[in-house]
Amino acid sequence: MRLILVRHGETEWNRQRRVQGLSNLALNDTGKKQAEALARTLSNKKVDAIYSSPLRRAQETARAISRFHRLEVEILDGLKELDVGDVDGMTYEDMKTHHGEFFVRWMTDFTSVRLPGGGFVPELRDQCCTAIQDIVRRERKAEKDDRVAVVVTHFFPIMCIVCNSMGLDLSHCRRLRVDLASISVMDFSADNTVLVSLNDTCHLRE
């Protein structure tokens, strides 16, 4: 089966380069245009199911896509973004000022430090990869190898899903790029996983 991983469109905090975790911001005007561009690009693709994080920015992106396929968007808690705790809404300069020791450790190895008042990246990996495994199992029950599922989620979940599926240590996340409103594609078979494309944003330049 094929998994189309979509990162949600832009919010005001994305535009302001603020850390954004579980805060439930909507798409801004740019984000809405990005969601429409995603929807148009995927409108002529085979899509059998659409899954989304429960956070508003992801749901709005998923619903834009779903209009062209007459599919209900299924909400999965396991696709939520990393809980960034006390740094939610902060810029990197704010983090340096208010959580200096944490910031140094985070920039050195973000996989080994828990966010102040928040989550831990390895826990997020387990959460979102369990959700992906459930999706793959569910789609395979259709007994068709060509099933295609769109999954609309966030930066850290996509990083974790790609690294875990490819057998890479989480530390490799820093070597990957996943932009807003990007598309990444993975093919899952019984004995192999193939990364078909990563961080496709061609639709945003059209």
Q: Is the confidence at residue 78, as pLDDT, over 80?
A: yes
Task: Report in angstroms the alpha-carbon separations of 105 from 93, 115, 132.
Answer: 15, 10, 29
Instruction: Read off the pTM.
Output: 0.95
Residue 191 has pLDDT above 90, yes or no: no
Answer yes or no: 154 catalytic.
yes
Mean pLDDT within 104-112: 93
Q: What is the pLDDT of residue 143?
A: 63
- pLDDT category at 24 given cuts 50, 70, 90 is very high
pLDDT, tens only, 50-67: 999 999 999 999 999 999
Across the chain, what does the average pLDDT equal? 95
pLDDT given for residue 173 in this prediction: 86
Question: What is the average pLDDT across 146-174?
Answer: 94
pLDDT of residue 105: 94
> What dihedral angle (degrees, nearest 10) is formed by the CA atoms of 94, 100, 103, 108?
150
pLDDT in tens, 129-150: 999 999 999 888 876 678 999 9
Enter the tokens of residue 127: 């959460």
pLDDT band of residue 206 (cuts 50, 70, 90) is low
Question: Span 83-96, mean pLDDT?
Answer: 96
Residue 26 has pLDDT above 70, yes or no: yes
* Mean local confidence (pLDDT), 187-204: 93
Task: Find the angle CA(111)-CA(164)-CA(177) to the nearest 5 degrees.
Answer: 70
Per-residue model confidence (pLDDT) at position 157: 97
Which is catalytic among the residues 8, 69, 98, 99?
8
For the segment 92-115, the average pLDDT, to the nearest whole number, is 94
Q: Verify whether residue 99 is a known catalytic residue.
A: no
Walk me through the domains of the chain, giving residue ranges and CATH numbers: 2-84+120-205 (3.40.50.1240)
CA-based nearest residue to 69, from 150, 153, 185, 145:
150
What number is the average pLDDT over the span 42-56? 97
Query: Measuring CA to CA, which residue among 129, 143, 138, 144 is closest to residue 193?
Result: 129
Mean pLDDT for the stretch of residues 180-195: 93
